[in-house]
Structure formats: C-alpha cells, structure tokens
Structure 1
C-alpha cells in the first residue's frame, strides 16, 4: 500500500427529515446565499423547507446553475456575493450545484484584479481562501458533497476543467434520501453510472496490496449493481435510495482512493465530450470507459481479473476471457440503466475524434492514467472503438 494522508472534515447528516437540522448547523447571525439549479428545488418544496429551517437569518437566492456549471453563470454569483457581503453559502442540489458553489466560494475571495478562471487553469492550486459553505444534497452522483473537488465549464473557451483544494470541503452536507423520490429516471441513471465510474477510476489500476480499499470499492460496485435497476423500478423505496445515496458519497470522499494509484483518464476524455457536444457527464463516462479498459487491459490485467472474479463472479475461462467478459458486463450494466454507450448513440462519428484530441492537447491532458501513459493518440484509439 502506498503512503497517504487522508483528511475529510465534512460532517454528514443523513436521513429523513434532516433538513430541519440546518438551524443547528449554521451560526444564528449568518448571512446566507442559497444556490440551486433549475426549478425542481422550488417545485418539490425543498427550497421552502430549507428556508424555513434557516429561520430568521438573512437569506437570498441565486438560481440557474446548470447541470454542467458554467463559469459564465457562476461568476454572476461571485459578483452578487461581493456586492452584498454574504458570509455563508448553502448549495441545494446535486453535484453540479455543489461543484459550482465550491468555485464561487473560492472566487469570491479573489482580489478583483485576479482572473477567477485561473482557479481552473491552475487546478485549484492557487486557492488561498474560500467562504464557508454547506450542502443539501438532492441528487446522488458525484460525491461532491463530501470531497474537495469540482469541475467547471467555460462555454466561451469550450473548456471543462477540474480543480481541487482542501479549502473547499463542505462544512456539512445533509443527505435525505426522500429528496430523490421525484428525480427523473435520467438523473438517477446518470447518478448510478457516475458513482460506478468514480469507483472504477480508483480501483481498476494495478495492485498495491490495498486490501481494505479494494474490498470497500468492490462493495460499492456490487451495491450499485444491485440497487441501480431497483432505483429506476421503485422510486419511493427508501432503503434503495438511501443505499444509492451513500454509495455515491463513499465512491468519491477520498476513502477508497487513499494509498492506491488512481486513473481518471476516462473522466478527462469525458470532460472534453461534454464541453464540445453537451453530453451528460455520466453518459460520456459510459461511452469512454469500456474502450479505455479494452485498450489498456494489459497494464490493468491483474486488477481487471480481480474485478471479473469478485464483482461480476466470473470464474471460468482464461484470464483474457474473464477480463473481456467483465468489460462486456460493465457496458451491459450501463445499458441496463438506459444509457447509450457508443458515440453513435449521440449522433457522433469519427469526425468527432480529431478535434477532441486537439482539445486534450490544449488542456495539457497528454499523459493521463495511473502510469501517465495515456497519450492523446491512445485516447483517440479508445474513441475509435466507441463509434
């Protein structure tokens, strides 16, 4: 096992009717800016429930944060904070709203002469201060409610870049599974696939005898395989939604990635697909991952065999046959969740590949993966498999 430094300060308040605990979690004199996405938080009553729990505190709202949060929208919230001196941010929504809030929290502390987009260009290394914030999670998917990373899209630059900083952990996150009952099937399916691929990116690399991390990761993957289809079929099943929500959080709160190599090449290629073609993040992952595993199965062979045996219970055939079956089972699971796994499912063809490869180069994504050996050319070969 590799050396590691694991730190996660986020308090999780989990369960039904836990939004009421906001009153205990925030200072009585906090001046709060609520941040959310579309109209669903209002229509479902969640936003009113949050405001009721905040009581007599000063509260204002900023809505309209997109499913792939854009710099152009987020910077308006930064301007609002600087003009009105809010001292606490509260994200109400899924990973995109929380990611956006992390960027806003950091950018609001930048001097006016500094370019906030430099946070993304420097992957968060230039963050020196951030406003405190919390979250009320309504969509299980990204794990942003319990980690220190985010992703922001700049429409003008056709760029989607990640950032990370220990200063943008949420102080707390409220996870009420009942808030997922009214979500569209598309969002639930996306959430399952997103959490699945997050886990795989930290698990399917090469062995370092991280036995606890492996077993945790395998448990998350098996849970998602079990509850994913049920979450679509039984939208009001509390236990199913609770296990889905907690799986998505545990998939990316740092625990299963501590002391083990991590990949993330699938995500970096997927980000470019979203930036260029507007495909849902999770769906880009479903396109890219099977090809990424197939092209790189030699370097990942030991963990892919373990994945085949422990997660998919494939125990017959040669190592290569078991690995191929496991990759096929992975793609079939995504399809079972109703998600297209080919570029052609999104009306894209081979003409997509060269411009995307150039974007990878432009954004410095030239040595991806756990071995830093995934070049833009290899990424292009992955995408050719996925037409």
Structure 2
C-alpha cells in the first residue's frame, strides 16, 4: 500500500465555534459571505456570523442552489472581481461549499470557470473558509466540488488541493432548523460516500477497513435511532460521521468505486433529484448487478456492520431497509422520471468519457442500463 494523505483544513468542532473564524481571517481582508436560500437568516446563523464579522469589511451573496449552478456562481465571480474580494466564507451545506470552491478558483482565472469541470488544472484560488449547516457531503474539509450547468443538463466535478477550506466550523446546534428530508439525505449521503471507498474488493489495510466500518456502523445506529433525530447528541454524531466519511483518509491507498455517484450525478442533472436520493435509487441495484465483484466485501460488511455473517445478499436488503426506514426510496419509479432515463444517463456517461466505471472499470453502459431498469421496476 502506498498513498499520500494531505488535509490542511482546521476543524473547529462544537457549540459556539463560529466565534473562532476571527482566528483565520485577517481584518484587512474583504470578505464575501456566500449562502443559499436564506435559511441561515431564520436559524440564527447569519446573526452569529454578522456579530463575529462586525469589525470586518464584508459583503453577502445569496441564492446558491441545492445543486449549485455555474450560471448562479458566475454572478458571484463577477462580484468578487469588481469589488476586489480577498476571502470567501461559505455558510451552508455541501452545495454552498462546493459552489464556493468554484467561486474561489474562477475568481482568479481569466477564462471560463467551467474549464475546471472539463479537466483544466486549477493554478491558484482565493482563500476559503466554511461554516457547515447541513452535514452530508464532507465538502467542508475536502478538495472536491460538484457543479451543475443548467443550460446543458450537466453535473460535473473537479478537485484541487488549492480549494481545501482553510477552516471548517462544525457546530451541530445550527442543525435545529433542518427538516426530516435534509437529515435523511445527509445520513444516506455519508453512508454511500463511505461505501464508495469500502465496498469494492479486499485490501490489506486493517485500519482503513476498520475506520470505514466504524463510520458505517455509526450511521446505521443513527438510522435505527431515527426517533431521536431532534436531539443534540444524534445531530452532533451525524455531523462528525458525515465529515469523516469524506475527508479523504478512508479512501487513501485503497480501491474506490464512485460509480453510484457518476450515475447519480446524471440523474440529478436531468431530473433534479436530490443528490442523496439519486444515490439511494442507484446503489442497491448496482450492488445486485455487480454482486459477484462485490461479494467478498459484502460478506465483510454483513459481518462487521449489520451482524449478518455469510449472507451477502441480505446485506443489500439491509441497506435498502435502512434507507426506507428514514423515508428515502430506493426506486426511480417513486419519482417523476420519464421512460428516457436509461437513454439519457447512458448517453451522458458516454459523452463524459465514463463508459467503463467502478473500481475495476467493469461497470459498462450495458450494466448501467440494467441498474436503472431494476430501479424503475
């Protein structure tokens, strides 16, 4: 096993930690606070941020969508260039933070920022900080972002060490205003993130597998304890587990899949499906289609996570049951999906150079079609 693990994000975890952002931002810097639909003004977070920044020069940019669009983000880029902004503070969930990663890179780039989604290397970026309000993606301490282009029904991703947030504030008390859909989405998202780095084929690292299994068991426990989702302890655990699911460590040096995400991104691009729900309608059916390739790790997952030794087929049912128990469907037929879904998704994957995906490159477009057809039944 060989790998390089790098994560420069300082994590400020716990109640009242929003005050800590002054330790990371110079008073001479002009700040742009980026947020979404305005929930931070209803749950008290905006008020806290405003108080902490009262001695700073700062501006605000709102309206970043749940699937952040390049069309909206480019307006923030223009604002930054016009006002000579020095620092971007993302206040929100994964979409706001992902969008802000695009903003800090595109704001110091002369060309079209979408170039980064087409594979161009990011050479510089403005500094970025994050205050997390919705745990799910781990974006607050990782170098990746997923961005949509509404004009072409595309959803792509990029990664660069230059867009790691300088700091991430994780104060779970800000989760009080989240609804059940958002909490369930966060749990499913974190679970699938972990599976993408774990549910592949056996590796030699006891630490990586053990760490991933701890995260999976923790999320499963929260699903079983769904009735207590409004308690501080439940929410604190979800925030920490979601962060650790995708901070880069459990995937270091081990095989990774990400096919569920690649297929799910296309579903969101075409049909506007919530990110987590796009994963839930793909993952169980992908596991069924690829069950021979996944068998050894499914057996291990059954034993270590679900206490189901030797019955790897039931593990897939256990995953589905867990999603259903918190109100998340695993069937495309439960959403407003047309009969062109197979054609739309497979053609988009082919266009984006993803005709063979998965940890071994064995999930072909034909298998993607099988997966989607299973989900539509």
* Coarse TM-score class (shorter-chain normalised): over 0.9
Shift of 1:126: 1.4
After the TM superposition, which residues 152-231 of structure 1 pair with which residues of structure 2 at under 5 Å, given as runs? 152-230=147-225
1:115 corresponds, among 106, 112, 116, to 112
Q: CA RMSD in A?
A: 1.1
Which residue of 2 is the match for residue 309 of structure 1?
303
Residue 25 in 1 paired to residue 20 in 2?
no
Instruction: Give me the whole-angstrom Cα distance separating, in 2, the residues matched to 1:225 and 1:323.
Output: 17
Shift of 1:376: 1.5
Instruction: Give me the whole-angstrom Cα distance separating, in 2, the residues matched to 1:236 and 1:381.
Output: 38
Which residue of 2 is the match for residue 149 of structure 1?
144
On the 8 A contact 1:228/1:337 being kept in 2, the answer is yes
Residue 351 in 1 paired to residue 346 in 2?
no
TM-score by length of 1: 0.95
Instruction: Give me the whole-angstrom Cα distance separating, in 1, the residues matched to 2:19 and 2:336.
Output: 45
Shift of 1:235: 4.2
Which residue of 2 is the match for residue 65 of structure 1?
64
Q: Secondary structure at the match of 2:321?
A: helix
Q: Deviations over 1:203-243 (max 9, x none)?
A: 0001111110101111101101111353x533442221111
Gapped regions of structure 1 (runs ≥ 5): none
Q: Deviations over 1:334-361 (max 9, x none)?
A: 1111011101010325432112111111
Shift of 1:66: 0.3
Which residue of 1 is the match for residue 244 of structure 2?
250
Instruction: Give me the whole-angstrom Cα distance separating, in 2, the residues matched to 1:249 and 1:227.
Output: 15
After the TM superposition, which residues 1-387 of structure 1 pair with which residues of structure 2 at under 5 Å, given as runs? 2-111=1-110, 114-122=111-119, 125-230=120-225, 232-315=226-309, 319=310, 322-348=311-337, 350-387=339-376
Deviation >6 Å, runs of 4+: none
On the 8 A contact 2:219/2:238 being kept in 1, the answer is yes
Instruction: Give me the whole-angstrom Cα distance separating, in 1, the residues matched to 2:231 and 2:318.
Output: 26
Count of residues in Structure 1 that have an aligned counterpart in Structure 2: 376
Gapped regions of structure 2 (runs ≥ 5): none
Q: Secondary structure at the match of 2:292?
A: coil
Q: Deviations over 1:153-206 (max 9, x none)?
A: 000011000110010100000000100111011000000000000000000001
Shift of 1:365: 1.3
Instruction: Give me the whole-angstrom Cα distance separating, in 1, the residues matched to 2:133 and 2:287.
Output: 31
